[in-house]
Structure 1
Amino acid sequence: MTEFLKIDGGEIAYDVTGEGPLVVMVPGMGITRNTYRFLAPALAAAGYRVATMDLRGHGESSLGWDSYPRTDTADDIVALIEHLGGPAVVVGHSFAGGSATIAAARRPELVTAIVEIGPFTRAQKPDLGGLLRNAHHRRGMTRLMSAGLLRSVGLWKSYLDYAYPGVKPADWAGYLAALEKDLRRPGRMAVVSTMGFAAPTDAGAHLGGIRCPALVVMGTRDPDWADPRAEADGIVAGMPAGLGKVVMIEGAGHYPHAQYPDEVAAAMLAFLGERARG
């Protein structure tokens, strides 16, 4: 059941399932909290209370916010944790991976661990060599940038098709249709564009300030990077020594939690178990 948290400037939509330690899951831009439709039940079944939230201007959250950077999303995450009675593990995908980093660094008493899935957490340097060498990366980035520049739902759908290489979820057609309906509402693609061109410098500046364990989950075929493993390793290298760990999901693109939810759930539960024992 959808609930709403009122914050200065608007409302954040969220839902909660399960009982146990709190896990707050945040989607990337251009999608809704339904992206965790496979992963959230698996964590709830394993004994966690799982909250999934929509980003500002996405899904059932309101439009009309003054700004949409990762730092504001981090503030929304913190507000939800406080509202639900944290602390919490924060799971952030793509854009929200950077927000998870900021929340952990700024409010360490509320964030016990972070899981970043396909995260944009570091400022990206132009990689012309990577674009030339890696056709999968080149085509994916062309679709992604074009969707943002033109605020085109059709181009965003084209990017999503490319960002799910190989296997797609069994409910793919229905999922995509519902997402298209949501994004065609007035103002939604403008928010996606704004977020898409927000450089993750605010998140990168906080990498060295986290104090909790961190797991970076990356698909081996993620088209957003010429070398997904190198990007994941670079994120961990920016964290204090010994806190970060990388898990690569073979064959997955930018949405490993939806393509291979069993593998991602297993990696997350192992990580959380290690944290509890440690």
Structure 2
Amino acid sequence: MPFLTSRDGTSLFYNDWGTGEPVVLLGTAMMSSRMWEFQAPYLAAHGLRCVTYDRRGCGRSDQPWDGYGYDTLADDLAALLDHLDLTDTALVGYAVGGGEAVRYLARHGTDRVSRLVLAGSTTPFMMKAPDHPEGLDPALFESLAEGMVKDRPRWAAELATQFFAGAGGDPDRPALSPELMRWSSELALDCSPRAALEIYRTLFTTDQRAETARIRIPTLIVHGSADTGAPIGLCGEATARLIPGSTFLRYEDAAHGLFATHADRFNADLLAFLTK
């Protein structure tokens, strides 16, 4: 299996499929690159070089104790792009992957990257602060952390309903097949407890408003109106306001997991943006 070694010695697993212009897919907080079940084969089959990798702490990559802040995660991404010598690359950042992509651009520039997709992104800032009263109460993170520590399998299973159906989701009528819901929960558990907690801390507490506002490459923002993991007003719409000239696509009634619930539409929108 293909691996690379990051700047601090962490081994990272990656896949490199297809030929053409490169696109690197950055996933959600706890899921490995297997979450791109619907996107990676599609993009590779439509003339793009599709690269996915397991974030440190997740999937087949090493699970170090530290290194889950955006600086280190962005440096891991830089190591991947350097290792494969990718240029004119599109970054697709999903959820916390959006924060990684934004921090990469702030930290490493645009020499290797030409366009950006932020889907269900947790940018620009989730947490309430004196100058950000609309943000989420820090007590919410503490509640999430408690659930993770106490019974992470149950926490992940219960989260799956909101992840794919939104706040009004009915657990007796899931948005996807029971098998796919169970598979997604298992992917989330294929992440070390330490990584899960610290990645969530990073996405919840990091203020990326200034670095988001400095983005000047073509950017597509995709967000579901029923997203409870990254509320659309706080995240997608706020991100779109900060990035000049960005394109914003609102998926009505879509929750956080639109990569699965709205896979056909998302794939078509991705391909149109990446190949225009």
Normalising by structure 1, what TM-score? 0.83
1:145-170 superposed Cα distances (whole Å, 9 cap, x missing partner): 54345462321221122211152257
Structure 2: give runs of 5+ residues left out of the alignment.
Answer: 166-173
Pairing 1:221–2:226 present: yes
From 182, 190, 196, the equivalent of 2:190 is 182
2:55 counterpart SS class? coil
Q: CA deviation at 1:204?
A: 3.1
CA distance in 2, matches of 1:28, 1:181: 12
* Structure 1 counterpart of 2:52, one-letter code: T
Partner of 2:113: 111
Asked whether the equivalents of residues 3 and 13 of structure 1 are also in contact (C-alpha less than 8 Å), the reply is yes
* Contact persistence 2:57–2:195 (CA under 8 A): yes
CA gap 1:9/1:169 in 2 versus in 1, 3 angstroms? farther
Instruction: Please report the RMSD computed on the Cα atoms of aligned residues, expressed in angstroms.
Output: 2.8
1:234 corresponding residue in structure 2: 238
Residue in 1 aligned with 2:42?
42
Q: Is the 8 A contact 1:122 1:200 kept in 2?
A: no
2:217 matches 1:212: yes
C-alpha deviation, 1:173, in angstroms: 5.0
Partner residue in 2 for 1:84: 84
Deviations 1:193-245 (A, max 9, x none): 0111124536433112222111111112111245x155312112222x21x11
Percent identity, aligned pairs only, is 27
| Helix, strand or coil at the partner of 2:235 | helix
Q: Residue type matched to 2:100 in 1?
A: S
Aligned in 2, Cα 1:30/1:20: closer, same or farther, shift over 3 Å? same
Once residues 16 and 56 of structure 1 are traced to their aligned partners in structure 2, the CA distance between those partners, rounded to angstroms, is 17
- Separation in structure 1 between the aligned mates of residue 95 and residue 250 of structure 2, nearest angstrom: 15
Residue correspondence of structure 1 range 1-278 to structure 2 within 5 A: 2-7=1-6, 8-87=8-87, 88-105=89-106, 106-126=108-128, 144=144, 146-148=146-148, 150=150, 152-165=152-165, 167-168=175-176, 171-173=179-181, 175-176=183-184, 178-179=186-187, 182-183=190-191, 188-198=192-202, 199=204, 201=206, 203-226=208-231, 228-229=232-233, 231-239=235-243, 241-242=244-245, 244-274=246-276
Measured in 1, the distance between the counterparts of 2:41 and 2:144 equals 29
Aligned residue-pair number = 260
Work out whether residues 258 and 266 of structure 2, in 8 Å CA contact, stay in contact via their aligned partners in 1. Answer: yes
Partner Cα separation in structure 2 for residue 96 and residue 197 of structure 1: 14
Q: Matched residues in 2 for 1:40 and 1:108: separation? A: 23
Deviations 1:258-277 (A, max 9, x none): 22111111111222233xxx
Query: Can you give the 5+ residue segments of structure 1 that lack an aligned partner in the other structure?
Result: 132-139
- The CA distance in 2 between the partners of 1:151 and 1:58, in whole Å, is 18
- Describe the SS at the equivalent of 2:226: coil
Q: Do the aligned partners of residues 173 and 218 (structure 1) sit closer, same or farther apart at CA in structure 2, a change above 3 Å counting?
A: closer
Amino acid at match of 1:197: R
Relative to structure 1, the CA distance from residue 51 to residue 180 in structure 2 (aligned partners, 3 Å threshold; closer, same or farther) is closer
Aligned partner of residue 266 in structure 1, secondary structure: helix
State the alpha-carbon separation in 2 of the partners of residues 174 and 265 from structure 1.
23
Task: Find the residue that maps to 1:89 and give its secondary structure.
Answer: strand
How far apart in 1 are the matches of 2:158 and 2:142? 10
